[in-house]
Structure 1
Amino acid sequence: MSMTTPPLELAVDVAHRAGALLVRYAAELRDGVDLGVSTKSSASDPVSEADRAAERLIAGGLLDARPDDGLLGEEGQASRPGTSGYRWVVDPLDGTVNFLYGRPTWCVSIACEDADGTVVGVVHAPQLGETWTATRGGGARRHETGHVLAVSEVTELGECLVATGFSYDPLVRADQGRAVADLVPRARDVRRDGSAALDLAWVAAGRADGYVEAGLNPWDWAAGRLLVTEAGGRVSTASWTLGGRSRAAVVAGGAAAHDHLLAWLEERP
């Protein structure tokens, strides 16, 4: 790849290479290989050599092609400022718990930002065989087929399949559990699949109607946010009191689903 490589083409190429690396690590894991798993913020927040190796591959691929760009990565190994006005925001393995348990619902998330927001977003789920892409002003698509993504058009909260996720903080998780108990009888159902980036890609693809989660980091939703908005949806942030203090929450979905979830969130004590 060269400096003239379009950002979307570069992001897809690097995401696929990282995905192939992670699939090899997944096979080693099944064979009993020790991936050096440790924890970060809590026992429910693991990291492994697979996460770190994927981030090194992604950072190398992006910066070899575009050495003047900045980079922000979840594992922090290659995070750096840039001089070009562009910054890559990378989650090398979103859904690490799923990965470590042999579940296929994990992904690589790569976004490119400039001063006006996200330019390109790619979410690649190698064990599902799917990649979702978006460019600012250019729409969102499933990469393998070129199919244009569109959010669902449900109009009532009772029709909404809602995706969500839980914090790594036990006190926050307890409050989120109580909130979900309140949401379940109001919505069609609630899903907790363990990957924010994948949840947002599925909202963009109409596989969930809405999404709400607190405590996300930039790499969790940089790519997914663009997928949803380019698929015709809305994404916003709101305050949610959890674990004794106010936290930023992300709300996404089609217009009606987004508004219903935002109103529900604003009703929370």
Structure 2
Amino acid sequence: MADYDQIYDLVLKLVKEGGALVKETISRPKNVEVKSCDVDLVTETDKQVEKLLMDGISSKFPDHRFIGEETTASGVKVELTDSPTWIIDPVDGTMNFVHGFPHTCISIALVDKKIPQIGMVYNPVMEQLFTARKGKGAFLNGKPIHVSDVKEMKKAILMFEMGTSRDPAKMKIVMENLAILAPLIHGTRALGSAALNMCMVALGGADCNFEYGIHAWDIAAGDIIVREAGGVCIDPSGGPFDVLSRRVLCASTQELADEVTKVLVQYYPERD
């Protein structure tokens, strides 16, 4: 296994190259394709950034494996083994990207022997680069970040999304949870990007985030960034986090996470 320093430096370079492409194309007309439904979109930039990252990593580390949003959408099976595996969302917040809304990012994480080692979330439009390495802390543009110390819902800002599915059963639960949580918290926020929502918790700008129906590539980088910033990342039911479960809850403190899980109506989508 190559040194993680060498791997980190290579991927940081590639992420910045991909970010330049995102920043360059966000204000241009786009060729938009519909995937599973009218709000699940992909653009040529998604495909180009994913290829840039995969080709760049493979050229130096040919034994590394990948779980990428666009390759998975084309029929490649999701499989997480003990091999070094990169979990990639080339443009998280594609709907934002399509509309020119500036909260969009590259999300990439390295999982080795099923243990997260590196996470990067890069919003090149807003010039926000979130990074983390196992045991080394979390950073925004090179400066250390830390979660808030909020332990109670009544003092919490909660990140909360509808997501990219309009399945009636899921939407019913989404609206039920909004109705339950709204009177109990300081407020809700949504950036339209699962990765950036998680990074807001890591930054301390928000205190909790949960979502059902997202995918491994939406949350793998955010998971290690939140943990390295001192937060917790669990299943919304209160159990351990599973990157393939399509469910996530992260929070500034265990106390806050426990309080939120007690009131949530649960939804269990098909696993990745």
Please give the range of the TM-score, normalised by the shorter of the 2 chains. Answer: 0.7 to 0.9
- Cα distance, 1:21–1:129 mapped onto 2, change above 3 Å: same
Secondary structure of the equivalent of 2:183? coil
**Equivalent of residue 169 in structure 1, options 157, 166, 169:** 166
1:169 positional shift? 2.7
* Counterpart position of 1:195: 193
CA contact (8 A) 1:225 1:235 kept: yes
- Cα distance, 1:178–1:84 mapped onto 2, change above 3 Å: closer
Residues 50-70 of structure 1, C-alpha deviation per residue, up to 9 Å, x if partnerless? 111111111111111211100
Q: TM-score, normalised by structure 1?
A: 0.87
Residues 172-221 of structure 1, C-alpha deviation per residue, up to 9 Å, x if partnerless? 12320231122111110011211000011111010110011111211010
* Counterpart position of 1:40: 35
CA contact (8 A) 2:162 2:174 kept: yes
Query: Does the alignment pair 1:128 with 2:123?
Result: no
* Counterpart position of 1:13: 13
Query: Does the alignment pair 1:54 with 2:52?
Result: no
1:236 positional shift? 0.5
* CA distance in 1 between partners of 2:152 and 2:159 (Å): 16
Residues 80-137 of structure 1, C-alpha deviation per residue, up to 9 Å, x if partnerless? 9899920111000000001111110010001001114110000000011010101111
* Counterpart position of 1:243: none
CA contact (8 A) 2:234 2:249 kept: yes
CA contact (8 A) 2:161 2:211 kept: yes
Query: Does the alignment pair 1:74 with 2:58?
Result: no
* CA distance in 1 between partners of 2:205 and 2:221 (Å): 17
How many residue pairs match? The answer is 253
- Cα distance, 1:22–1:64 mapped onto 2, change above 3 Å: same
1:15 positional shift? 1.1
Secondary structure of the equivalent of 1:85? coil
* Counterpart position of 2:241: none
* CA distance in 2 between partners of 1:23 and 1:248 (Å): 28
Cα RMSD over matched residues?
Answer: 2.4
- Cα distance, 1:262–1:7 mapped onto 2, change above 3 Å: farther
1:249 positional shift? 2.7
Secondary structure of the equivalent of 1:44? coil
* Counterpart position of 2:58: 63
* Counterpart position of 1:89: 87
CA contact (8 A) 2:120 2:129 kept: yes
Q: Which amino acid aligns with 2:7?
A: P
* Counterpart position of 2:223: 225
* CA distance in 2 between partners of 1:254 and 1:111 (Å): 21
- Cα distance, 1:201–1:161 mapped onto 2, change above 3 Å: same
* CA distance in 1 between partners of 2:80 and 2:193 (Å): 28
- Give the percent of matched residue pairs that are identical in Structure 1 and Structure 2: 31
* CA distance in 2 between partners of 1:155 and 1:135 (Å): 25
CA contact (8 A) 1:7 1:112 kept: no
* Counterpart position of 1:244: none
1:155 positional shift? 2.1
Secondary structure of the equivalent of 2:236? strand
Q: Any stretches of 5+ residues in structure 2 without a counterpart?
A: 239-244, 268-272
Secondary structure of the equivalent of 1:76? helix
Secondary structure of the equivalent of 1:221? helix
* CA distance in 1 between partners of 2:81 and 2:177 (Å): 43
- Cα distance, 1:159–1:83 mapped onto 2, change above 3 Å: closer
CA contact (8 A) 1:14 1:58 kept: yes
Identify the range of structure 1 (226-235 vs 251-260) with the bigger mean alpha-carbon deviation: 251-260
Q: Any stretches of 5+ residues in structure 1 without a counterpart?
A: 30-34, 241-246
* CA distance in 2 between partners of 1:238 and 1:182 (Å): 15
**Equivalent of residue 145 in structure 2, options 142, 149, 157:** 149
Secondary structure of the equivalent of 1:75? helix
Q: TM-score, normalised by structure 2?
A: 0.86
Q: Which amino acid aligns with 1:170?
A: D
* Counterpart position of 1:104: 102
* CA distance in 1 between partners of 2:117 and 2:217 (Å): 14
